[in-house]
Amino acid sequence: MPAHNSEFPWLSYYKNYNFFQQRMREHSKVSGLKLINTGFYEITLTSSIVLKVFICECYAFDDAAYYELIANYGKVDAVVISSNWCGYNFETKLERMREKVGIFDIRGFMAAINKPNYWEYMTEYERDKINHTQ
């Protein structure tokens, strides 16, 4: 569900992604950042891996939002929820992990790109959630 804008690509309230761009430019594992489309970036890691990353400001990113995203932009490698007031459906995250697509908040994404299998990164809270349901 979009936050500020009901039309794809669900622009941020301020209609910019300056905070995300700044964090990526400062990250030690990022060697390049290129805007492809509104809220859609190519991020080149120092390992030469190129990730297609969508920045989303949705109240609750879920399967429907994911399918709308790929219908509009094609394959993505990661979705980053850019607002502290927004989040993602945990089951959607788990399902996308099987497809090697990561879903994160910005802090999680910054940690994930330090790992070779970035899409598998989970917060401690998420790991605990899985451990308590098994």
- Indicate whether 22 belongs to any domain: yes
Residue 30 lies in a domain: yes
- CA-based end-to-end distance of the chain: 29
Q: What is the pLDDT of residue 57?
A: 77
Helical H segments across 57-123, by residue range:
63-73, 90-98, 106-112
Is the residue at 53 inside a domain?
A: yes
64 found inside a domain: yes
HSE, side-chain direction, 13 A CA sphere, residue 36: 18
Q: How many structural domains is the chain composed of? A: 1
Distance CA 130, CA 134 (A): 6
Mean pLDDT over residues 108-112, rounded?
96
Domain of 67? 18-133
Residue 92, domain member (yes or no): yes
Q: What is the pLDDT of residue 7?
A: 55
The dihedral through the CA atoms of 87, 91, 92, 95 has a sign that is positive
At 77-107, the pLDDT tens digits run: 999 998 777 889 999 999 999 999 999 999 9
Is 2 a domain residue?
no
Distance of CA 116 to the CA centre of its chain: 16
- Say what the pLDDT of residue 14 is: 55
What 3-state DSSP class applies to 25? helix
Residue 78 placed within a domain: yes
DSSP H or E run through 125: helix 124-133
Supply the pTM of this predicted model: 0.87
pLDDT (0 to 100) of residue 2: 43
- Is 10 inside a domain boundary? no
CA distance 114 to 63: 26
